[in-house]
Amino acid sequence: MIAPDLPGHGDSDPLPTATFDGVADAIGELLEHLDIGPRYLHLHDWGAPVGLQIAMQAPGQVLGQVVQNANAHRSGRAPGRDATRAYWTRPDVDNEAAATAHLTLEGTRDTYLAGLPAELAARIPAAHWQEDWRVMNRPGHVRTQRERIADHGRYAERFDAIADYLARWQPRAVLVWGRHDVYFDIAEVLSWMRALPRMQAHVLDGGHLLLEMHGEETTDIILSFIATH
């Protein structure tokens, strides 16, 4: 299994320009360097634009896809994201400030807890989002987040091309979804199921960062999916 920090995340240094195209090129270079042929791709959050671009560039190399709270349809746009959409349309200073206002310790905490029932939120240690925020303050990481929020609008413009790829290639897939996600609407699940009618779908009682509380269960689902094929 290869699980790199995307450039500008974790312990990975940022790219000069933090576009999804640039990230996909970097990950593609890594796959080539490691001589990775046919592969399963795990799509989650920012990893969805990256993984789908890699898949569309070499669809014959895709053995299957794991979809974990990953947006690739217009139906997945959750309510309350008006500031982000306004920033895509008019990227001025005011709209940028509104769209990136969550890049704080409190906003990082909300990525873990927002939308979760209290008894579920209580199971996630504060040390997790505190460490996340510490890492985000490495040089260039907040800039990466800002640029990627802007570039996500360009990713959304590719949804029709992604739909064409899914319709033509029908990659094997399994979906594992945290139902309390505040970033991507639950309607995204049905859109994935319509696009890939043979896809397994598992909706679990978790949030956007599903693995925080369903790591073992998700692992079992993924291993079963791979073993089946």
- DSSP of 76-112: GB-TT-HHHHHHHH---HHHHHHHTTT-SHHHHHHHH
Contact 187, 162 (CB under 8 A): no
What is the mean predicted confidence (pLDDT) over 156-173? 97
pTM strictly above 0.85? yes
- 93 CB-side CA count, 13 A: 0
Q: Does position 156 have pLDDT exceeding 70, yes or no?
A: yes
**Who's near 207: CB < 8 A, 6+ residues apart?**
112, 113, 114, 115, 116, 120, 178, 180, 181, 182
Query: For 59-98, what is each residue's pLDDT tens digit?
Result: 999 999 999 999 999 998 877 677 888 888 888 888 889 9
Q: Looking at domain 20-228, does it have CATH number 3.40.50.150? A: no
In angstroms, what CA-CA distances link 177 with 32, 66, 73, 206? Answer: 30, 10, 15, 8
Domain map (residue ranges) of the chain: 20-228
Residue-wise burial string across 124-158, b where 16 or more C-beta atoms lie within 10 A, e elsewhere: beeeebeebbeebebeebbebbbbbbbbbeebbeb
Q: How far is CA 101 from CA 69, 87, 97, in A?
A: 22, 12, 6
Please report, for residues 22, 88, 95, the alpha-carbon distance to residue 66 in angstroms, rounded to integers and kept in the order given: 22, 28, 33
Q: Which tokens go with 60?
A: 């014959």
Burial status of residue 215 (CB atoms within 10 A of its CB: 0-12, 13-18, 19 or more) = exposed
Task: Determine which of 86-90, 142-146, 222-226 has the lowest per-residue pLDDT on average.
Answer: 86-90
Residues 119-128: tens digit of each pLDDT? 999 999 999 9
> What pLDDT shows up at residue 77?
80
Tokens at 68, concatenated:
């974990």
Of residues 8, 15, 4, 18, the one with CA closest to residue 155: 18
Do residues 202 and 174 make contact, with C-beta atoms less than 8 angstroms apart? Answer: yes
